[in-house]
Amino acid sequence: MENDIILSLEHIMKIYLNGTVANEDVSFSLRRGEVHALLGENGAGKSTLMKILYGIENPTEGKIILKGRETTIKNSKEAISMGIGMVHQHFMLVPSLTAAENIVLGAVPKKWGIFIDKRTAVKEAEEIASTYHFNINVNEKVKNLSVGLKQKVEILKALYRGAEILIMDEPTAVLTPQETDELFVQLEKLKENGHTIIFISHKLDEIKQICDRATIMRRGRSMGTYEVSKISVEEMSRLMVGSELHTELKKSDDALGEVKVRVRDLQACDPLGVHKIQGIGFDVKGGEILGIAGVEGNGQAEVVEILTGLYKNYTGQVEISGQDTAPLSVKQIRKLRLSHIPEDRMQSGCAPSLSILDNLFSNQYDGSEYSGKYMLNRERMESRAEELREEYLIKCESCRQNVGMLSGGNIQKVIAARELSTEPVIIVANQPTRGVDIGASQFIRKRLIDYRNKGAAVILVSADLSELLSLSDRIAVMYKGKITGMFSETEGLKEEVIGQYMLGILHQKEAGGVES
């Protein structure tokens, strides 16, 4: 049983239409019933390899051997029929349909062969959700679901179709630690039931926790497969990057500046009238990082949207650099030197079909540096784009390439480069390192700290608690639209404690109170 190879890939090469060699020579094999990790930096070719396996891309060269027989997988329908399922890095859901409809999509139960049987669809979706203990309302439209819940729908969709080999491309990037733990419990169960799982993540501790073996990729080549129990985290990262990684995050101890962000009695409903924020208040001073923790959907997203001017339907007071933001447009707020790294990079963070260059200046094209009264200064934009590309290690052929062609982590780098290159005074960063590899994550974190040290006020929303703890000066925990815990000292604070606040088990009396 141990050495029962269910699938092997041999010398896979993939060249994309624009000439990018995404996979140069990749080989590895999967044992039945294992959780196999794929590790590599952003742009190493992990997603590409998985798309080949799932029939979305055709390999240029190489062999796929499934259960001892060489096969070609022409499209994902074939992949599904061979028992291969995939949870994509970016969501592949139909936003206007309900979760249930999305889950059964492609294998829809029919009434008399023609009519979609909604009731059975809902029943089956509920069944599969409860089998795997996914807590989700399947009747909700997908567009109203939080990112974490969307991820669950994606996983259920693959399971519903009976995936024997389940590919998971960074499934935990959008999950909170609790959700990740829950997912791992489910993965263990799947494993017991004989499912084989390919698991992609940039978080090495997760790999350590859940995976049996790991194949490491570097610049489109496989660098070998290792037993996870026999290799240290340091070795893994050395193999991925090709060199040791050492960046220390140093916070200066300068006195705090004046209040840059001031929120009082904030209340807000979402467009459906659900109370999302129920009276919160806080201050952020220049030179500090306020971390906001919370399970997805407890109001953090709304706070970010209100602060950045994208959502106006609120009561209470929000001031940025002393100015009431209620009458200000997004642009006017940005002109107060506020930068915003958005949560959903594909939906609002970039225009995939425009070039990297065009995407790098959407927040500053009208500044005097890059334009006159009417005209853009393309030369200056181009040279600046080259600088940013180097500084932020964006892996691409050229800056004229469309952003949509980049790997997930590199898209995130483009967004970070754009938002952090404007010398901001206030930074609202929502999951800034989501899906970014270790090296680049460290870099982005370092930039956040640098700005803090230079006197900027930073609000950091992150599902990654260790990131929150290492960066934040203070941490606020949000639960059901309220701040239920405010920690002005992060030293010695335990992830478990924050976790309990996030789940509403613990809460401080002065809920939503502002400290002196």
Partner 1 sequence: MINTKNFTVFRRVFSVFIALLCSFVIIFLVSEEPVFAIVQLVTGPLRSVRNMSNVIETMIPLIFTGTGVCIMFSANQMNLACEGSFHLGGLVAAMCAIMLGLPPFISPVIAVAAAGICGAFYTSIPAVLKIKTGATELVSSLMLNYISLWLATYLMMRFIRDPGVGAASLPIPDSAALHALISGTRIHIGVIVAIGAAVLGELFLYRTKAGYEIRLVGENEAFARYSGINVVKVIFLSQLIGGLIAGIGGGIEILGPIYSRFSWTSLLGYGWDAVIICTLVKKKPLYTIPAALFLAYLRTGASIMARTTDVTLEIVQITQGIIIMLAVAEKFLEGYRMKLVEKEAKDNLKKGEVL
Give the footprint of ligand ATP on this chain (CB under 6 A).
Answer: 16, 18, 20, 22, 40, 42-48, 89, 395-396, 405-410, 437
Judged by CB under 8 A, which of 74, 143, 189, 378 binds partner 1? 378
Mask for 85-114, x = binds Mg ion (CB under 5 A): ----x-------------------------
Q: Minimum distance from CB of 350 to partner 1 (Å)?
A: 6
Q: Please answer whether residues 475 and 293 qualify as being in contact, where contact means their C-beta atoms are separated by less than 8 angstroms.
A: yes
Which residue, 201 or 359, is less far from partner 1 as judged by CB?
Answer: 359
Which residue, 88 or 195, is less far from ligand ATP as judged by CB?
Answer: 88
Span from 18-26, 93-101, 258-266, 388-396 in contact with partner 1 (CB under 8 A): 18-26
Residue 483 CA to residue 70 CA, distance in Å, equals 56
How far does Cα 490 stand from its chain's mean position?
A: 24
Q: Minimum distance from CB of 352 to partner 1 (Å)?
A: 7
40: partner contacted, choices ligand ATP, partner 1, Mg ion, none (Cβ within 5-8 A by kind): ligand ATP
**CA 72 to each of CA 28, 29, 47, 60, 169: distance values in angstroms, whole numbers, following the listed order:** 17, 16, 18, 12, 21
Tokens representing residue 127 in the block:
């069944």
Question: Which residue, 469, 461, 431, 466, is CA-closest to 282?
Answer: 461
Indicate the SS3 state at residue 512: coil
Backbone angles phi, psi at 430, to 5 degrees: -105, 110
Which residue, 430 or 472, is less far from partner 1 as judged by CB?
Answer: 430
Bridge pairing between strands 115-116 and 110-111: antiparallel
287: partner contacted, choices ligand ATP, Mg ion, partner 1, none (Cβ within 5-8 A by kind): none
Residue 469 CA to residue 460 CA, distance in Å, equals 11
Query: Does residue 47 interact with Mg ion by CB under 5 A?
Result: yes
Judged by CB under 8 A, which of 229, 243, 244, 374 binds partner 1? 374
What is the 3-class SS of 399-459, one letter each residue?
CCCEHHHCCHHHHHHHHHHHHHCCCCCEEEEECCCCCCCHHHHHHHHHHHHHHHHCCCEEE
Query: Does residue 48 interact with Mg ion by CB under 5 A?
Result: no
DSSP state of 142: G
Q: Please answer whether residues 138 and 99 qualify as being in contact, where contact means their C-beta atoms are separated by less than 8 angstroms.
A: yes
- DSSP for 281-344, please give it: EEEEETT-EEEEE--TTSSHHHHHHHHTTS---EEEEEEETTEE-TT--HHHHHHTTEEEE-S-
Q: Please answer whether residues 191 and 142 qualify as being in contact, where contact means their C-beta atoms are separated by less than 8 angstroms.
A: no
Judged by CB under 8 A, which of 8, 10, 11, 21 binds partner 1? 21
Mask for 318-357, x = binds partner 1 (CB under 8 A): -----------xxxxxx-----x-x----xxxxxxxx---
**CA 343 to each of CA 28, 146, 175, 269: distance values in angstroms, whole numbers, following the listed order:** 34, 11, 12, 19
42: partner contacted, choices partner 1, ligand ATP, Mg ion, none (Cβ within 5-8 A by kind): ligand ATP
Which residue, 342 or 409, is less far from partner 1 as judged by CB?
Answer: 342
Q: Please answer whether residues 482 and 278 qualify as being in contact, where contact means their C-beta atoms are separated by less than 8 angstroms.
A: yes
Residues of span 420-459 touching Mg ion by CB under 5 A? none
Residues of span 247-286 touching partner 1 by CB under 8 A? none
Q: Minimum distance from CB of 320 to partner 1 (Å)?
A: 13
Q: Minimum distance from CB of 139 to ligand ATP (Å)?
A: 32
Which residue, 150 or 413, is less far from ligand ATP as judged by CB?
Answer: 413
Residues of span 51-90 touching partner 1 by CB under 8 A? 60
Judged by CB under 8 A, which of 1, 2, 3, 19 binds partner 1? 19
Judged by CB under 5 A, which of 408, 424, 499, 512 binds Mg ion? 408
Which residue, 22 or 318, is less far from ligand ATP as judged by CB?
Answer: 22
Judged by CB under 8 A, which of 8, 278, 362, 508 binds partner 1? 362
Question: Which residue, 448, 454, 483, is CA-closest to 468?
Answer: 448
Q: Minimum distance from CB of 50 to Mg ion (Å)?
A: 8
Which residue, 23 or 407, is less far from Mg ion as judged by CB?
Answer: 407
Q: What is the per-residue burial (b if ≥16 Cβ within 10 Å, else e) of 310-343?
A: ebeebebebbbbeeebeebeeeebbebbbbbbbb
Query: Does residue 172 interact with Mg ion by CB under 5 A?
Result: no
Which residue, 288 or 305, is less far from partner 1 as judged by CB?
Answer: 305
> Crossing angle of helices 408-420/378-391, nearest 10°?
120
Contact residues toward partner 1 (CB under 8 A) are 15-21, 24, 60, 308-310, 329-334, 340, 342, 347-354, 358, 361-363, 365-366, 371, 374-376, 378
Contact residues toward Mg ion (CB under 5 A) are 47, 89, 407-408
